[in-house]
Structure 1
Amino acid sequence: MKTVLRAAFVAPVTALLLMSLGACSKGEKAAATQVAARVNGSEISVHQINFILQRSNVKPEQAKSASEQILTRLVDQDLTVQKAVDRKLDRNPEVVQQIEAAKREILSRAYLESVASAAVKPTDKEIADYFAAHPELFSARRIYTYRVLGIQAPADKVAVIQDMHAKGRSLEDIAQWAKGENLRMVGDGGTKTAEQMPMQSLPRLSQMKDGQVIIATGPAGAELVHLIQSRTEPVTLEQSKPIIERFLTTSRRSELVQKEMKLLRSAAKIEFKGDFAHMADSLQSAPVALPDASAPADASVGTK
C-alpha cells in the first residue's frame, strides 16, 4: 500500500498541478465539514484525500490509516508548494514546461478515457466463446516448469544448432558447444502458469510433452525451450468469467482508442519539418503511443 501511495506523489510537478487545478484557494473556502486541514490558511479538503484514496486501490480496512498518510503527505506538499511559489519557482521556465507537459498528458488521457468508455460490455455468449476458443488458458490450463536457452548466432551456426536439436542433444550439450564457439547466450527458466507465459508462444507450448525440447530460429539466432515438467490445473467458465470479461472489455477499449487516434491522424494537417520530415509518409502506419487510458483494470487472462 505504501508503494501505491508514494506513486501518487512522485513528481513535484504533481503538487503544483493539484494546487492549480484542485486545491482550495483562499477565495474558495470549503465547507467546514469538508476541511481536513489548514496549512498557513490554505485548506486541504476531504475531497482531495478521497480523490487520491480512490485511485490507490486501498482495502476498506486500510482506508483510515491510508487517509492519514495521504493527509500528512498533502500537508507536506502544501508547505513545499507555498515555499516554491514564494520563491517564484512556478515561473521558472523548466518548471512551467513540466507543468504544461503534465497538463497535456492529463487532458490527453481524459479525452482517450472518454473515447474508451464507449466500449460495450461483452455478453455471456462472447465470454463463453472466448473460454472455448482458448483451452490452453482455461479448460486445459497447465502449470509449466521450463528452461529457455537463447543463442545469438549467424546462419551457419544456427544450422549446427538445428542439427544438434534434431539429433536429440540436450540443452547442456548445446550450451557447451555454443560456449566453445564464443556465442552469446541468455538463459531463463522457472515455473509459471499458462497466463504468465507469452501469449504468442502459449499455443505451441500447450502442445508440448514433458521432457520435450522445441527450437525457434530467426535472423538473430536460435531459442530452445525445454519443458521439464507440467501439471494440469484447469479453471471453470464460472471462475474465468470475470477475468475474461475484463480482458475483452480492455481489448475493446484499446481498439476504440487506436481507431480514434488513426482517425485523428488522417483528418489532421500534420507537417513534419527538418530532421523529422521523413516521418510524413510513415505516420499513419506508425504505432500509436498512448497513455494507458485503454486499461482501467487488470487485463491478464487466467487465474491468480
Structure 2
Amino acid sequence: MKRGISLLVLGLALASCGKGEDKQAPKGQVVATVDGKEITASELRMELQSAPSDPNLAAAAQSAALQGLVARKLLVAEAKRRELDKSPLAAMFRARAEEQAMVQLLQMNIASGVPKVSDDEVKDFVSSHPATFSQRRLISVDQLLVPKIDMKVVKQMEPLKTMPEIEALLNNNKVQFVRSAAVLDTLNLNPDVATKVASMGVDEILALPNGSGVQVARITSTRIEPLAGEESQRIARLLLMQQRGATQVRQAMEEIVKAGQSKVHINADYQAKKAPQAQPQPAAPGKTN
C-alpha cells in the first residue's frame, strides 16, 4: 500500500511541474532540466518512440513520456546518492543493459537494409487477404482472458464446444481467468489467422495466444467494415515491411550466432545433458524374447 501511495504522490508532484512561470525553464532543444542536468528533445523522442496521429493524443503521450523520463532521472539520482551504482550487482546490470542495447542496434541496422515493398506486392497482398481488407470484420465476443496456462490444458480444451465446458476445465485445473466482452478487429490479427476467424459463425469458439496465456472467445455477432483505397494500401505496405523485416532480422541473427559457435567453449558442468537411454527391461517370468 505504501508503494502505491508513494507512486501516486510522485505522479501528482510531476503533474504539478510547469504550472506557473518558471524563470529557470529551459528553451530550444532542451525540454527540461533535472538538478541542472539537461533532457534534450532527442531523448524525449527516443522515450516516446512513436506518437499517435491525433494531435491531442500525441500531446498527452508526449507529456506522459516526459514525466516518466523526469521520474527515472530523479530515481537514478537517488540510487546514486545511496551509492548503489558502485555495487557488483550494478556492474552486471549495466553490462547486460549495454549488451541488450547493442543487440537492438544490430536489429535496427539489419532491418534498415530490408528491400522496399513494391506496389504490385501491395496489391497482391490486399487482394489475397480479403478478411483483413475488403471483407474486414468487427467481431463481438464474450471472452475469458487467461494470463497463464499450461499447454496440456490448452490441448484438453480443443474438443470442447461451449464456454461452460471450457470454464469447468479451467476451474478443475485451478487456472485463473477474467471474463469480459470485447470486439476483435480482423485488421489487427495475423492475416492468416484473420482468414480463419472470418469464416467462423455466431456461437463458435476461438482461442488466440495472449502472451504466456490464451484468449478464449465466443462469437456473439459480426459485421463487415471494409478497408479500401489508399488506407488499405498504406496498411498493407506496413504489414509487408514488418513481416519482411522480422524475417530478415531473424535469419541474419541466426546466421551470426551459428557462425560464431566455433568461438564458444562451455564448462562441462553446464553442457546440455543428453537424456539417459532407457534400460532394457527383463522378460516377465515364463516368457522369452
TM range (shorter): 0.5 to 0.7
The equivalent of 1:195 in structure 2 is 187
The equivalent of 1:271 in structure 2 is 265
Counterparts of 1:79 and 1:175, CA distance in 2: 49
Question: Which letter does structure 1 place at the counterpart of 2:220?
Answer: I
Counterparts of 1:133 and 1:241, CA distance in 2: 13
Equivalences for 1:223-238 in 2 at 5 Å?
A: 226-238=218-230
The equivalent of 2:43 in structure 1 is 52
The equivalent of 1:77 in structure 2 is 73
Shift in alpha-carbon separation, 1:130–1:275, aligned structure 2, 3 A: farther
| Partner SS state of residue 85, structure 2 | helix
- Cα deviation, residue 102, structure 1: 1.0
- In structure 1, which of residues 90, 96, 101 is the aligned counterpart of residue 96 of structure 2? 101
Equivalences for 1:30-179 in 2 at 5 Å?
A: 43-44=37-38, 48-55=39-46, 56=48, 57-58=50-51, 66=62, 70=66, 74=70, 77=73, 81=77, 88-147=83-142, 152=153, 171=162, 175=165, 179=168
- Cα deviation, residue 196, structure 1: 3.8
Shift in alpha-carbon separation, 1:63–1:189, aligned structure 2, 3 A: closer
* Paired residues of 1:144 and 1:191 also in contact (CA < 8 A): yes
- In structure 1, which of residues 251, 254, 259 is the aligned counterpart of residue 246 of structure 2? 254
- Cα deviation, residue 205, structure 1: 2.3
Q: Percent identity?
A: 20
Question: Which letter does structure 2 place at the counterpart of 1:278?
Answer: A
Equivalences for 1:5-20 in 2 at 5 Å?
A: none
Counterparts of 1:65 and 1:215, CA distance in 2: 34
Shift in alpha-carbon separation, 1:262–1:279, aligned structure 2, 3 A: farther
Structure 2: tracts of 5 or more residues without a match: 1-6, 8-26, 147-151, 208-214, 275-289
Question: Which letter does structure 2 place at the counterpart of 1:273?
Answer: N
* Paired residues of 2:132 and 2:187 also in contact (CA < 8 A): yes
- Cα deviation, residue 141, structure 1: 1.1
* Paired residues of 1:36 and 1:43 also in contact (CA < 8 A): no
Aligned residues: 226
- Cα deviation, residue 124, structure 1: 1.2
- Cα deviation, residue 146, structure 1: 3.1
Shift in alpha-carbon separation, 1:43–1:207, aligned structure 2, 3 A: closer
Q: CA-to-partner distance for each residue in 1:25-67, whole Å, 9 max, x for gaps?
A: xxxxxxx987777777x652xxx42122212145777769958
| Partner SS state of residue 192, structure 1 | strand
Q: CA-to-partner distance for each residue in 1:224-282, whole Å, 9 max, x for gaps?
A: 864322111111042212222221111121112111111112211233434542289xx
Counterparts of 1:35 and 1:147, CA distance in 2: 48
Structure-1-length-normalised TM-score: 0.56
Question: Which letter does structure 2 place at the counterpart of 1:267?
Answer: A
Q: Please give the root-mean-square deviation of Cα atoms over the aligned residues, in Å.
A: 4.8
Structure 1: tracts of 5 or more residues without a match: 1-5, 7-31, 166-170, 217-222, 281-304
Counterparts of 2:61 and 2:124, CA distance in 1: 44
* Paired residues of 2:132 and 2:195 also in contact (CA < 8 A): no
Shift in alpha-carbon separation, 1:93–1:241, aligned structure 2, 3 A: same
Counterparts of 2:223 and 2:271, CA distance in 1: 55
| Partner SS state of residue 199, structure 2 | coil
Question: Which letter does structure 1 place at the counterpart of 2:252?
Answer: E
- Cα deviation, residue 103, structure 1: 1.1
